[in-house]
Amino acid sequence: LKSKSRELIRSVRSPSQAAVLGAGIMGGGIAYQSALKNVPIIMKDIAQQGLDLGLAEAGKLLGKQVDKGRMTDEQSERALANIQPALDYTGFDKVDIVVEAVVENPTVKKAVLAEVEAETADGAILTSNTSTISITDLASALKSPAHFCGMHFFNPVPVMPLVEVIRGKQSSDDTIAKTVAYATALGKIPIVVNDCPGFLVNRILFPYFGAFCQLIRDGVDFWEIDRVMEAFGWPMGPAYLLDVVGIDTAEHCMDVMAEGFPDRMKYDFRTVINFLYEKDDLGQKSGQGFYRYE
Ligand code: CAA
Ligand code: NAD
């Protein structure tokens, strides 16, 4: 970061009201983290079931904080009350920053971003938690692309420190500074990166998943690969990690990466993930992926 940008970041205050679109694995985690750090957040989904799951997960995680003696019951209840579940855009006119965390599909994301832009005040910051899709491309759906950038959290949100703040071609310095300020208020480590498919981390992670799929095509068992990577010292192997991420999300990410880097991400790599996706075996979220979850 240039020193002028650093100065701007220091001068910006964290938002007083946030919103997240999507209450799934990531949206639920972002809502919990915001609530924990006392930044009130509206959590909007299109399905009541999504909201119920998001709230239940946040309640469970806050309960663990109480069990570990880090919070009283009263503090936990107050934190949970920071999350306002919503099926519509009521209250979005008061929101300073929005994190879009709906499915990894550019058409859906563009429609949702245009919709939320119409519901927020001029100057509100819009961000996307997309894993791979170009921020400059998503910005084409917006009237005010200067107020938009990427805010890419990692899974599980409460534990993973990194947040990639992605600068699209038209993102303003002020937008980047406010997004960095929100990430910092959430206790995260923001890094500002340029825009391209997969940004920084997923340009490393998805070729790794691709190499894993190639090994399976070569006849190696996924279970053995996981055990080897654990013995190598990584917290989990690629099959288990794909189940954690979600097979549908991984499938969509692979599409974007294969289009962005056709020489490095050959379509052949995807066969294994595509096989599970077609069967609707979406990983932990559906109870069956590479592994079965009770
Ligand atoms: N949600 C919330 N908290 C969790 C959690 C979860 N799913 N899993 C663990 N924790 C918490 C525990 O409660 C514990 O908290 P305290 O320290 O406050 O007590 C803490 O994490 C450590 O727990 P464990 O000792 O059980 O930790 P672990 O050894 O199992 O490590 C982990 C947890 C760091 C998450 C580890 O499993 C890990 O590194 N997993 C890989 C995660 C990863 O690679 N994520 C990237 C996914 S890809 C992505 O996000 C990008 C994309 O665009 C697709
Ligand atoms: P998910 O399937 O768990 O949740 C998606 C949620 O979005 C669902 O609750 C769904 O009902 C909701 N939704 C769909 N359309 C909506 C709309 N129009 N308005 C509001 N809500 C809507 O998905 P996820 O894993 O949370 O992924 C969300 C985003 O985060 C994706 O862009 C994904 O690439 C990205 N991401 C995922 C991970 C991961 O490991 N899962 C990590 C980093 C980033």
Q: For residue range 177-199, list pLDDT tens digits in order.
A: 999 999 999 999 999 999 999 99
What is the arithmetic mean of pLDDT over 246-256? 96
pLDDT band with cut points at 50, 70 and 90 for residue 11:
confident
Backbone angles phi, psi at 38, to 5 degrees: 65, 30
Q: How confident is the model at residue 268 (pLDDT cuts 50, 70, 90)?
A: low
Can you tell me which residue has the tokens 């192997």? 237
User: Quick check: is 152 catalytic?
Assistant: yes
ipTM: 0.98
How many angstroms does the Cα of residue 271 sit away from the middle of ligand 1? Answer: 28
Could you give the number of structural domains in the chain?
Answer: 2
Whole-number average pLDDT of the chain: 95
The ligand 2 site (C-beta within 6 Å) comprises 21-27, 44-47, 50, 101-104, 108, 112, 129-131, 153-155, 245-246, 249, 285
Pocket test for ligand 1, best of 159, 163, 199, 255 (most atoms within 8 A of CB): 159
- pLDDT for res 10: 76
52 and 77 Cβ atoms separated by less than 8 Å = no
Determine contact, residues 19/95, Cβ cutoff 8 Å.
Answer: yes
Average pLDDT over residues 151-164: 98
Asked whether residue 286 is domain-assigned, the answer is: no
**Distance of alpha carbon 250 from alpha carbon 196, whole angstroms:** 17
**C-alpha 176 chain-centroid distance:** 17
State the CATH number of the domain containing residue 96. Answer: 3.40.50.720
Q: Do 220 and 261 fall into the same domain?
A: yes
Cα 239 vs. chain centroid, distance in angstroms?
A: 20
Is the pLDDT score of 252 beyond 80? yes
Residue closest via CA to ligand 2's atom 1 equals: 24
158 lines ligand 1 (CB under 6 A): yes
Establish if 285 belongs to a structural domain.
Answer: no
Q: Which band of pLDDT confidence, cut at 50, 70 and 90, is reported for residue 231?
A: very high
Q: What is the pTM assigned to this prediction?
A: 0.97
pLDDT at 236 over 60: yes
Q: pLDDT value at position 293?
A: 97
Looking at all shown ligands, the one closest to residue 153's CA atom is 2
Helix axes 73-80, 48-67, angle to 10 degrees: 160
Same domain, 130 and 91: yes
* Cβ of 159 below 6 Å from ligand 1: yes
* Alpha carbon distances (Å) from 199 to 50, 68, 73: 28, 36, 40
Q: Do the domain assignments include residue 291? A: no
- Residue 78 sits in the same domain as residue 160: yes
In a domain, 288, yes or no: no
Q: How confident is the model at residue 27 (pLDDT cuts 50, 70, 90)?
A: very high
pLDDT over threshold 70, residue 4: no
Structural domain boundaries, residue 121: 3-194
Per residue in 76-102, pLDDT (tens digit) is 999 999 999 999 999 999 999 999 999
Residue to mutate (ligand 2; options 20, 25, 155; most atoms within 8 A of CB):
25
183 shares its domain with 256: no
Poorest-confidence range of 5-9, 100-104, 193-197, 256-260? 5-9
Give pLDDT, residue 43.
Answer: 98
